[in-house]
């Protein structure tokens, strides 16, 4: 019966893909099909003399060769209305670059020249989007703020993805005059991708932000209720005789680092100081007109902020965002989520490629003998990495990442002499992704493959898989003028390794094959391979020309599906169905500039046919006329059946609950920006009451200084927090307790921009969390109807402190039947980073960095803000001082 239900669910999900076979409407010009504004064009000219100086003055004779273009229309807040101030621009080109001039009318006494670091887009700005491939899918964005701050982004998926980590080398300058302000840009053709042999107009959009009035206006008007962005650009004509740009960029670097920490008596590896001098190389090579090859040798990321501190009491791995520049730039090319991002579903972070796997902490900790000390690396070294990316004129996109991480060893010394022990094997990582645009990008088919191959010679590393492969195919199909979208993907995985490694994969939290009531996936300790499949389908109405949107679909992953060697996934053995409907008001009405409401629901099953849970969620968000924003959300979770809460034990029934959240933010144009929010979760049957509140403050006392202070406070009163599993003569005992957890965190930032090229940034983040356990209980009947039947309280006489933990005597015979460790905790962390960044020449940067870390973990359990802060800052810090300089060469 269970297998039949599982099959029926999969067949129902597959039926959602039937509209893929429906005949597509003939391809039409998107503006005409939508009945939108006509497509505009600008005729540029080739420079015949000296190029203009990029100083913002517009007094070069070269600009007289081309006319002004203007007649911008608002996009926000009043879509299609005339803007508060007119804007104009001109375009020139030569064999080396595109040149833009801008005349932006305004009151010069009221403009907002706000300084900020690169890619922050502060104050008044002007922006150019260029579809140089003429593929109506991708474009390059260049933004110049009145203050001179530059920003740049790579646009893909027809405007659905904006990657701010693309960092080209280009120039821009501004000036304020009696009529408002002016700007000039020089964009080297070497920073763009185009087919010089193909005579085609390029897509062009010019976009202005008028900070004081909260308006955005564009040259090519694109209504907000229409779909697409790049596909609806105007045309840039007259680009004749372009030659392929030679693209060879080299960025060598040198790093000097000095570490100071408290010396450890008797440990020769911890004498309190350490230093190193190292170097490396980044390079970018153009391969024809369409592709680029990025290389890095011995990369250094010393200027990157530390991850935020947190306490993870679940069985699942914490997801951390990528912050390293090499892996962020172009990351969208290698991105394939396991399922489309859905409102309600919980698969939105699961993906085939999770770049934080590269350079992770070593997998093995040495077993030290008495009197031994060890020195092991904190992270695995990335010896080299190469990334190939590009898109052909025929719409074929390719992304390939190849990386090798070094074999890492721990140095060990002690009474028996010196030795080394491998803590991470030499490992090769590969990621490949291809997509093909069809029907002018309205249909996209693609595929992706990832692999991890480890060179394991040491028996103690046999718990690692030798080979891990994953991949699949995906489809996105738009029809009826992009108003409807169908997405589907089918994925598979395959692991190879020792019996130990594959047994570890079978019993990992993602699947828990060892559950005693698991009747559809068995543990096989003799296996040396493991495979599985996953996929998703979704049908969406995007809301083109209407305020109503909806989507419906589902996703699955089989019990044996595993991608965590190079991807990220929390749970296998699940089938998920979801539906979402939303209404958006895009035009200003009443007190609102815009508002949106939506509702969604989802249900989950496992592959045995058991329904795991269901939930219903509603959301409301709005922006008021004064630019204030708010969001509110409510979710009702039903009683659920969990295959993971007992961490390898049988499935168990858990109460449902209510989850509420809300946040508000005031007008971002104000010098003092305030915001805050709250979250609350109450589980039924009085089993959990948790909440958190946070405040967001940002003060801009001058146009060059910004100070932000964001404190938060969380209280978690959980009567059913997992403590541990202990063996006894009567079988495994799954012990839970009442956890009283209190957490305080604070993020403090100072951004000082002396010039657009010289910035000083400070980041500091203390984190305090304490948890005390009491009222222990064990699982009696995990599927019983009532809470008292599912859990049996351990009485005071049954639980006694023993050996730093607790001993339990269930039968009262005076002999402990089992024991568990003391779970109380105090976690105290402080991470800070001071970075001086000076772009002393185009693309060349000097970094001065001071990082400090403090950490303290004890098992006290009580929370006292003053005492915990005193204990944290009484802990000896680890200080790192770093100087990094790189130099950009264009060959």
Contact 259, 274 (CB under 8 A): yes
What are the distances in angstroms from CA 611 to CA 605, 607, 862?
4, 9, 39
Distance between CA atoms of residues 774 and 738, nearest Å? 5
Question: Can you give the pLDDT at residue 346?
Answer: 54
Pull the structure tokens for residue 439: 């029907």
Pull the structure tokens for residue 647: 């961490």
Distance between CA atoms of residues 356 and 321, nearest Å? 8
Pull the structure tokens for residue 172: 């821009």
| Mean pLDDT for all residues in the chain | 90
Contact 835, 852 (CB under 8 A): no
Distance between CA atoms of residues 790 and 609, nearest Å? 22
Question: Can you give the pLDDT at residue 597?
Answer: 97
Rg (CA), the chain: 30
| pLDDT surpassing 70 at residue 813 | yes
Pull the structure tokens for residue 511: 């699947």
Burial label, 808 (beta-carbon count in 10 A; 0-12, 13-18, 19+) = buried
Question: Can you give the pLDDT at residue 695?
Answer: 98
Q: Cα angle vertex 510, ends 648, 434, to 5°? A: 170
How many CB atoms within 10 Å of residue 152? 22
Pull the structure tokens for residue 665: 């933010």
Strands 640-642 and 652-654: antiparallel
| pLDDT surpassing 60 at residue 17 | no
Contact 677, 666 (CB under 8 A): no
| Continuous segment of H or E residues that includes residue 416 | none
- Ranges of H-type helices in 241-298: none
Question: Can you give the pLDDT at residue 341?
Answer: 56
Contact 871, 856 (CB under 8 A): yes
Question: Can you give the pLDDT at residue 793?
Answer: 94
| pLDDT surpassing 80 at residue 554 | yes
| pLDDT surpassing 50 at residue 14 | no
* Maximal CA-CA distance, the chain: 101
Identify which has the larger pLDDT, 797 or 19. Answer: 797
Question: Can you give the pLDDT at residue 586?
Answer: 87
Question: Can you give the pLDDT at residue 808?
Answer: 95
Helix or strand or coil: residue 504?
Answer: helix
Question: Can you give the pLDDT at residue 6?
Answer: 42
Average pLDDT over residues 607-618: 96
Question: Can you give the pLDDT at residue 199?
Answer: 66
**φ, ψ dihedrals at 163, nearest 5°:** -100, 105
What is the per-residue burial (b if ≥16 Cβ within 10 Å, else e) of 666-705? beeeeeebebbbebebbbebebbebbbebebebebeebbe
Distance between CA atoms of residues 579 and 552, nearest Å? 4
Q: Cα angle vertex 211, ends 207, 216, to 5°? A: 30
Contact 714, 690 (CB under 8 A): yes
Distance between CA atoms of residues 507 and 647, nearest Å? 9
Distance between CA atoms of residues 685 and 699, nearest Å? 44
Residues of the chain with pLDDT > 70: what percent?
94
Confidence bin at 290 (pLDDT 50/70/90): confident
Note the Cα 799 to chain centre separation in Å.
Answer: 44
Q: What is the pLDDT of residues 762-779, one digit of tens each?
A: 999 999 999 999 999 999
User: Which residues have CB under 8 Å from 537's CB, separation 6+?
Assistant: 13, 14, 16, 17, 486, 487, 488, 553, 554, 555
Pull the structure tokens for residue 302: 């010393």
Average pLDDT over residues 373-399: 90
Q: What is the pLDDT of residues 718-731, one digit of tens each?
A: 999 999 999 998 89
User: Hey, which bits of 459-528 come out as E strands?
Assistant: 467-479, 484-496
Confidence bin at 304 (pLDDT 50/70/90): confident
| pLDDT surpassing 90 at residue 696 | yes
Q: How many residues does the chain have?
A: 891
Pull the structure tokens for residue 715: 């209280």
Question: Can you give the pLDDT at residue 723?
Answer: 96
| pLDDT surpassing 90 at residue 440 | no
**φ, ψ dihedrals at 131, nearest 5°:** -95, 80
What are the distances in angstroms from CA 236 to CA 69, 163, 168?
12, 23, 21
User: Hey, which bits of 59-149 come out as E strands?
Assistant: 73-76, 87-93, 97-105, 125-131, 139-145
Contacts 24+ apart (CB under 8 A), 608-612: 608/2, 608/3, 608/6, 608/518, 608/519, 608/520, 609/1, 609/2, 609/3, 609/4, 609/5, 609/6, 609/9, 610/2, 610/641, 610/651, 611/641, 612/574, 612/640, 612/641, 612/642, 612/643
Torsion of CA 57, 60, 66, 72, to 10 degrees: 0
Distance between CA atoms of residues 509 and 317, nearest Å? 9
Helix or strand or coil: residue 527?
Answer: coil
DSSP per-residue letters across 630-697: EEEEEEEEPPEEESSTTSSS--EEE--EEEEEEEEE--TTSSEEEEEEEEEEEEGGGTEEEEEEEEEE
User: Which residues have CB under 8 Å from 264's CB, separation 6+?
Assistant: 270
Using alpha carbons, select from 309, 302, 313 the residue that is nearest to residue 830. 309
| pLDDT surpassing 80 at residue 339 | no
pTM: 0.87
Question: Can you give the pLDDT at residue 10?
Answer: 38
Distance between CA atoms of residues 822 and 816, nearest Å? 16
| pLDDT surpassing 50 at residue 509 | yes
Using alpha carbons, select from 840, 815, 842, 827 the residue that is nearest to residue 875. 827
Confidence bin at 11 (pLDDT 50/70/90): very low
Distance between CA atoms of residues 453 and 496, nearest Å? 10
Identify the bridge partners of residue 664 per DSSP, sorted by sequence position: 630, 676
User: Which residues have CB under 8 Å from 795's CB, separation 6+?
Assistant: none
Using alpha carbons, select from 730, 816, 739, 819 the residue that is nearest to residue 774. 739
How many CB atoms within 10 Å of residue 394? 10
Question: Can you give the pLDDT at residue 347?
Answer: 57
What are the distances in angstroms from CA 475 to CA 351, 446, 486, 538?
16, 6, 8, 10
Look at the block and give the residue holding tokens 């009163």: 717
Helix or strand or coil: residue 455?
Answer: strand
Using alpha carbons, select from 667, 752, 673, 748 the residue that is nearest to residue 708. 748
Using alpha carbons, select from 120, 144, 215, 112 the residue that is nearest to residue 708. 120
Question: Can you give the pLDDT at residue 36?
Answer: 65
Look at the block and give the residue holding tokens 């000219």: 45
Using alpha carbons, select from 305, 304, 297, 306 the residue that is nearest to residue 278. 297
Confidence bin at 156 (pLDDT 50/70/90): confident
User: Which residues have CB under 8 Å from 369's CB, separation 6+?
Assistant: 414, 415, 416
User: Hey, which bits of 542-591 come out as E strands?
Assistant: 548-557, 574-585
Region for 158 from its dihedrals, namely left if φ exceeds 0, alpha if ψ lies in -120 to 50, beta otherwise: left
Question: Can you give the pLDDT at residue 29?
Answer: 36
| pLDDT surpassing 60 at residue 27 | no
Distance between CA atoms of residues 478 and 542, nearest Å? 10
Sign of CA dihedral 369, 375, 379, 380: negative
Q: How far apart are the first and last CA of the chain?
A: 68
């Amino acid at each position: 019966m269970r297998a039949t239900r599982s099959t029926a669910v999969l067949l129902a999900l597959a039926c959602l893909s039937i509209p893929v076979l429906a005949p597509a409407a003939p391809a039409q010009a998107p503006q005409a099909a939508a009945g939108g504004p006509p497509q505009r064009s600008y005729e540029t000219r080739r420079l015949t003399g000296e190029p203009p100086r990029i100083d913002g003055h517009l007094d070069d004779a070269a600009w007289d060769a081309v006319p002004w273009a203007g007649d911008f229309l608002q996009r926000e807040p009043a879509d299609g209305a005339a803007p508060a101030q007119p804007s104009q621009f001109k375009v020139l080109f030569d064999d080396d670059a595109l040149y833009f001039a801008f005349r932006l009318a305004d009151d010069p006494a009221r403009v907002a020249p706000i300084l900020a670091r690169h890619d922050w887009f502060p104050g008044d700005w002007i922006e150019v989007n260029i579809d140089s491939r003429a593929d109506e899918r991708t474009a390059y964005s260049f933004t110049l703020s009145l203050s001179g701050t530059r920003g740049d982004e790579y646009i893909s998926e027809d405007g659905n993805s904006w990657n701010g980590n693309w960092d080209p080398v280009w120039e821009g300058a501004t000036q304020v005059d009696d009529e408002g302000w002016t700007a000039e840009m020089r964009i080297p053709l070497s920073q763009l991708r185009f087919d010089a042999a193909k005579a085609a107009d390029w897509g062009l959009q010019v976009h202005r932000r008028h900070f004081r009035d909260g308006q955005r206006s564009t040259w090519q008007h694109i209504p907000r209720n229409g779909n697409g962005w790049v596909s609806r650009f105007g045309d840039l004509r007259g680009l004749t005789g372009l030659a392929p740009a030679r693209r060879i960029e080299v960025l060598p670097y040198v790093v000097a680092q000095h570490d100071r920490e408290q010396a450890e008596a008797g440990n020769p590896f911890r004498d309190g100081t350490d230093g190193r001098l190292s170097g490396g190389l980044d390079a970018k090579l153009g391969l024809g007109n369409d592709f680029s090859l990025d290389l890095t040798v011995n990369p250094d990321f010393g200027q990157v902020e530390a991850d935020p501190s947190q306490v993870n009491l679940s069985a699942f791995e914490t997801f951390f965002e990528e912050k390293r520049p090499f892996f962020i730039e172009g990351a969208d090319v290698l991105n394939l989520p396991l399922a489309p991002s859905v409102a309600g579903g919980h698969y939105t972070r699961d993906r085939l490629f999770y770049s934080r796997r590269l350079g992770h902490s070593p997998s093995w900790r040495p077993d030290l003998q008495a009197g031994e000390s060890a020195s092991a690396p904190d992270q695995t070294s990335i010896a080299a990495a190469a990334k190939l990316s590009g898109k052909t004129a025929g719409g074929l996109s390719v992304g390939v990442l190849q990386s090798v991480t070094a074999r890492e060893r721990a140095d060990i010394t002690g009474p028996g002499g010196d030795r080394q022990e491998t803590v991470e094997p030499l490992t090769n990582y590969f990621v490949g992704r291809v997509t093909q645009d069809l029907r002018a990008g309205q249909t996209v088919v693609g595929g992706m493959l990832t692999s991890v191959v480890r060179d394991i010679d040491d028996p103690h590393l046999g718990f690692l898989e030798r080979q891990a492969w994953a991949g699949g195919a995906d489809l996105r199909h738009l029809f009826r003028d992009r108003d409807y979208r169908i997405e589907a993907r089918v994925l598979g995985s395959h692991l190879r390794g020792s019996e130990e490694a594959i047994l570890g994969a079978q019993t990992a939290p993602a699947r828990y094959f060892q559950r005693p009531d698991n009747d559809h996936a068995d543990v096989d300790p003799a296996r040396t391979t493991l495979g599985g499949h996953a996929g998703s389908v979704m049908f969406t109405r995007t809301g083109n020309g209407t305020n109503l949107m909806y989507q419906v679909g589902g996703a699955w992953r089989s019990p044996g599906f595993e991608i965590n060697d190079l991807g990220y996934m929390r749970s296998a053995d699940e089938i998920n169905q979801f539906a979402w409907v939303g209404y958006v008001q895009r035009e200003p009405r009443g007190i609102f500039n815009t508002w949106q409401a939506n509702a969604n629901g989802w249900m989950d099953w496992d592959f045995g046919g058991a329904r795991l849970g269901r939930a219903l969620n509603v959301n409301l968000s709005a922006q008021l006329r004064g630019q204030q924003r708010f969001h509110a959300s409510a979710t009702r979770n039903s009683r659920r059946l969990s295959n993971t809460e007992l961490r390898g034990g049988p499935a168990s029934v858990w109460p449902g609950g209510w989850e509420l959240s809300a946040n508000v933010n005031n007008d971002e144009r104000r010098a003092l920006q305030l915001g805050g929010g709250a979250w609350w979760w109450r589980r039924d049957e009085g089993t959990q009451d948790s909440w958190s509140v946070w405040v967001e403050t940002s003060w801009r006392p001058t146009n060059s200084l910004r100070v932000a202070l964001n404190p938060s406070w969380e209280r978690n009163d959980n009567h059913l927090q997992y403590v541990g599993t202990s063996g006894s003569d009567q079988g495994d005992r799954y012990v839970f307790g009442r956890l009283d957890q209190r957490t305080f965190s604070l993020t403090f930032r100072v951004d000082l921009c002396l010039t657009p090229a010289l910035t000083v940034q400070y980041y500091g983040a203390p984190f305090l969390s304490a948890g005390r356990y009491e009222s222990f209980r064990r699982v009696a009947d995990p599927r019983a109807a009532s809470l008292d039947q599912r859990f049996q309280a351990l009485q005071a006489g049954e639980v006694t402190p023993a050996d730093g933990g607790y001993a339990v005597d269930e039968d009262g015979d005076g002999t402990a039947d089992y024991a568990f460790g003391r779970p109380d905790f105090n976690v105290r962390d402080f991470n800070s980073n001071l970075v001086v960044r000076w772009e002393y020449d185009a693309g060349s940067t000097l970094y001065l960095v001071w990082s400090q870390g403090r950490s303290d973990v004890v098992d006290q359990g009580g929370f006292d803000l003053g005492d915990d802060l005193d204990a944290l800052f009484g802990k000896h810090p680890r200080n790192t001082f770093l100087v990094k300089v790189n130099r950009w060469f264009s060959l």
